[in-house]
Chain A
Amino acid sequence: MMTFAGRFGALVPLLRGTTQFIKCAVLSGAKELLPATAPGGIRLAHTDIKIPDFTDYRRPEVTDPNKSSQDSSDARRAFSYLFTGATTVVGVYAAKTVVSQFVSSMSASADVLALSKIEIKLNEIPEGKNMTFKWRGKPLFVRHRTEKEIAAEEAVNLAELRDPQHDKDRVLNPSWVIVLGVCTHLGCVPIANAGDFGGYYCPCHGSHYDASGRIRKGPAPLNLEVPYYEFPDDDTVVVG
C-alpha cells in the first residue's frame, strides 16, 4: 500500500530503502567519522531529535501511547467546543455589559434623578394649612385638610364640575391633598386659601379651585394635576 501511495506523482517510496550492491568497497578510515564525544549542542542527525514528552499537558484520555486517540476524539472535541462556546457567551455578555455601562453613563446623573422625587415630612404641616414645595421645577401644594373641608368636598355634585372627578379619586388619604400648583389655564401659580370655594384662586385670569384642587369658576379647563405619590409611613409622603 505504501508504495502505491508513495508512487503517486513520482514520489520516491516513503520506505527507507538501501540498495546494497555487493560490489561496495570497504571504507577505510571509517573510524574518523565517529566523534569521541558529542557536546550537547550538536545534533548529528534528524533522528536524534527527541520529541519532548507532553504527558503533563495531555488530557487523561490521550496519555496512553498504546491507545488510539480516535475513540476519545469526539468527547474531547465536544468538551473543547462547549468550553469555547460557553466562554464566548460569557464574553459577549461581559462586552455588552461594559458597552451599555459606557452608553448609559451619558444618561441623567444621580443628582438629577434624585430631584425627581421629593420626600415631605407631614407632621410639620398643621391642619388647614397649605405648604408649597419646589418639585421638578414646579410648585407642589401639600394641603392638610380639616374634617369640614373633607366632608364638603366629598359632598360636591359631580354634575356641577367642569372636569368631573370625585374627591376620593384625587386623594389617597382624604386629609392630605397633593397637587401641582400650576393653573391649568395658562400656567400661573394659584394662591392658597383664597377664592370663592375655600381652595385656591389664580390671580392671572380668575380661576377658582376648591379644596380638592378641582376647577369651579374661571377660564381653567381642568382640575389641578395630581402627581404620583405614596405614603411610606404615616408621617412622610414621597412624591414622584
Chain B
Amino acid sequence: MAASVCRVGSTMGRVLAQTRSPLLLSLRRGQASVSYAQSLLGAPETRLSTLDNGLRVASEETGHATCTVGLWISAGSRYESEKTNGTGFFLEHMAFKGTKKHPQSALEQRVDSLGAHLSAYTSREHTAYYMKTLAKDLPQAVELLSEVVQNCSLSEAEIEQQRGLVLRELEEVESNLQEVCLDLLHATAFQGTALGHSVLGPSNTARNISRQDLVEYIDSHYKAPRMVLAAAGGVSHQELLALARSHFSGVSFEYEGDAVPVLPPCRFTGSEIRMRDDALPLAHVAIAVEGPGAASPDTVPLMVANAIIGSYDLTCGGGKNMSSRLARLAVEENLCHSFQAFHSSYSDTGLLGIYFVTDRNHIDDMMHWSQNAWMNLCTTVTESDVARGKNALKATMVGQLDGTTPICDDIGRHVLNYGRRIPLAEWDARIDAVTPKMVRDVCSKYIYDKCPAVAAVGESSFQLRFLNRWPVKVR
C-alpha cells in the first residue's frame, strides 16, 4: 500500500517535471522555497534607454541597498594601432588622477567620504570605469564618473609619474605566467592584426607616450554611441536616466573628418610560440582554435562543450571520481597541476581552447589527452555528458551574478556585445535547447581538422607533439 503510494508520488513528480510549467513546478514541495524556473522568470528586468547623442543607459533594480554604476565603452587594445598600443591602458592609469573640476586629492576625498570604491578595467574590446557605492549616493557617483571620463586632467607631471608605475606593472605581470601565456596566445593567433596586441602595450609606449596621444585616444574612441551607462542595485531607471541626461549629454558623437572607426575582421593564424625558460618549474601551455564571435548562436553549445571538459587544479577534492574525463585522467596519470577549457569571444571572432599547467615530463601526454577531449566532443559526446555540462553551465551562470558589481558588469558588456541584456531565463532556454548532436556538430565545425594556435611559457624541454593527432593539426 505504502509502496504504491510512493510509486504514484514519484510518477506525479516525473510528470510535473516533464510538463515544465512554472505553476505545476511550484506545487512540488521540494527543498527550495522558490523553484529554479520561478526564480529565473522573477528576475528584475533590465531597462534600456538611449539618450539623444546615442549613449545608452541600462539598469536593473535589484533592491539592494548598494549599487554599482559605471560606464562601459567600446574601446580597447583592438582599436589601437601598433604604434598606439598601450594607450588605453595608460589612460586607465591616468583616469583617477584628477579631473578639471577636482584635483586628485579632492577627488580622492569625495570618493572616500562616500565610502565608495572606484575601479576600472581595460580589455581588448571594452573599457570600463565603475563605482560601487550606497544606492542613495547614485547622483554623486554618476557626477564623479562623468568627470573622470569626460574631463580627465591628464597633467604632465602625473603622466611622468605614471610611466614608472606602468613599467613596474609590466614587470610584475611577467611573473603571472597565466597572463603571459594567454597574451602570447593572442599575439600569435591573431598575429599581424589588432587583436594580437596585448592590452598592456609594449614598454616603449609607457616610456614615450605623450599627453597628445592620450587626448587623441579619448577624442577618437570615447564617443556616445559606443558608451553604456550601466547600473545595478537599488537604482531607479528614471533617476539614472535623468542623471545621464544632465551629465552625459555633452559626450560627443561625431568623429573628426567623419572617420567612424570600423573594426576590420582579424585574421587567425594557426601557429605556435614558445617562451622557453628551463629555470621555471612548470610549463604553462594554451592551445586554441578560432571560435565564433560573441553574438553567434554557436556560443551556447560551445559553452556547454567547455563545461563538459571543465577544469581542474590540484586543490580539487574530487580526485578520480570527477565527471570530466580529462580531469579523471589528470588525477590518475598525474598529468597536470591544473587545466581549464576557455572561450574568449570578441565581436566577430574568438578563441576556443584549453589552458593547462604541468611539469616537464607530462606535457606531451597532457597535450595528447586535451586533444583527445576535443575529439571526444566532436565525435562521441553522450547525452549524459551534455546533461551534466548544461547543469554545470547553468549553475555557473546563475552563481556568477551574486552581487551588484557582477550584475552591472554583465549589463555593460551585454549591451556592448549584443545591444541588449540577455536575461537568465533566455540563457536557460538556449542552454536547454542544446542536444548532443548540436554539440558534436558545432564542435566539429570549429575544432575538427582546424589549425590550432599554441602558446607555451616556461619549462619546456619538450617537443609539444601536437601533430600526433591527425584531425587536429598545424599546417
On whether the beta carbons of A46 and B183 are closer than 8 Å, the reply is: yes
A12 at the interface (CB under 8 A from B): yes
Among A11, A18, A31, A54: residue with most chain B CB under 10 A:
A18
On whether the beta carbons of B183 and A9 are closer than 8 Å, the reply is: no
Residues of A within 8 A of B275 (CB): 46, 49
Residues of A within 8 A of B107 (CB): 22
B50 at the interface (CB under 8 A from A): no
B265 at the interface (CB under 8 A from A): yes
On whether the beta carbons of A49 and B164 are closer than 8 Å, the reply is: no
Residues of B within 8 A of A70 (CB): 268, 290
Among A19, A45, A47, A73, which residue has its beta carbon within 8 angstroms of that of B450?
A73
On whether the beta carbons of B340 and A11 are closer than 8 Å, the reply is: yes
Assembled-state Cα–Cα distance A27/B396 (Å): 40
Assembled-state Cα–Cα distance A175/B118 (Å): 122
A10-40 vs B, Cβ < 8 Å mask (1 yes, 0 no): 1110111111111100110011111000100
Q: How many A-B residue pairs have CB under 8 A?
A: 196
Known: A11-B340, A45-B173, A66-B265. A77 touches B311 (CB 8 A): no
Known: A5-B306, A27-B165, A47-B201. A16 touches B123 (CB 8 A): yes
B166-196 vs A, Cβ < 8 Å mask (1 yes, 0 no): 0111110110001110111001100111001
On whether the beta carbons of A5 and B342 are closer than 8 Å, the reply is: yes
Assembled-state Cα–Cα distance A22/B187 (Å): 32
B332-354 vs A, Cβ < 8 Å mask (1 yes, 0 no): 00000000111111001100000
Chain B residue nearest to A53 (CB atoms) is B192
Known: A20-B96, A45-B200, A53-B192. A69 touches B269 (CB 8 A): yes
Assembled-state Cα–Cα distance A18/B182 (Å): 17
Residues of B within 8 A of A1 (CB): 294, 299, 343, 345, 413, 417
A227 at the interface (CB under 8 A from B): no
On whether the beta carbons of A22 and B413 are closer than 8 Å, the reply is: no
A57-95 vs B, Cβ < 8 Å mask (1 yes, 0 no): 000001011111110010011001000000000000000
Among A11, A23, A27, A45: residue with most chain B CB under 10 A:
A45
Interface residues on B, range: 35 or more
Among A8, A47, A67, which residue has its beta carbon within 8 angstroms of that of B306?
A8
Residues of B within 8 A of A69 (CB): 267-269, 290
Residues of A within 8 A of B37 (CB): none
Residues of A within 8 A of B179 (CB): 16
Assembled-state Cα–Cα distance A53/B191 (Å): 8
Assembled-state Cα–Cα distance A65/B264 (Å): 9
Assembled-state Cα–Cα distance A6/B107 (Å): 32
On whether the beta carbons of A47 and B343 are closer than 8 Å, the reply is: no
Chain B residue nearest to A44 (CB atoms) is B203
Known: A16-B121, A17-B121, A68-B267. A3 touches B341 (CB 8 A): no
Apart from A66-B267, A69-B267, what are 6 other A-B pairs with CB-CB below 8 Å? A1-B413, A5-B344, A18-B89, A64-B267, A65-B267, A66-B266
**Complex A-B: 30 CB contacts under 8 Å:** A1-B413, A4-B303, A4-B397, A6-B342, A9-B340, A10-B311, A14-B344, A16-B89, A17-B123, A18-B122, A20-B95, A20-B96, A22-B96, A33-B168, A34-B164, A34-B167, A34-B207, A46-B173, A46-B174, A47-B183, A47-B198, A47-B200, A48-B203, A54-B191, A55-B192, A66-B265, A66-B267, A67-B265, A69-B268, A69-B269
Which residues of B come within 8 Å of A, CB atoms? 86, 89, 92-93, 95-96, 107-108, 111-112, 117-123, 126, 160-161, 163-165, 167-171, 173-174, 178-180, 182-184, 187-188, 191-193, 196, 198-204, 207, 264-269, 273, 275, 290, 294, 299, 303, 306-307, 310-313, 340-345, 348-349, 355, 396-397, 400, 406, 409-410, 413, 417, 449-451, 475
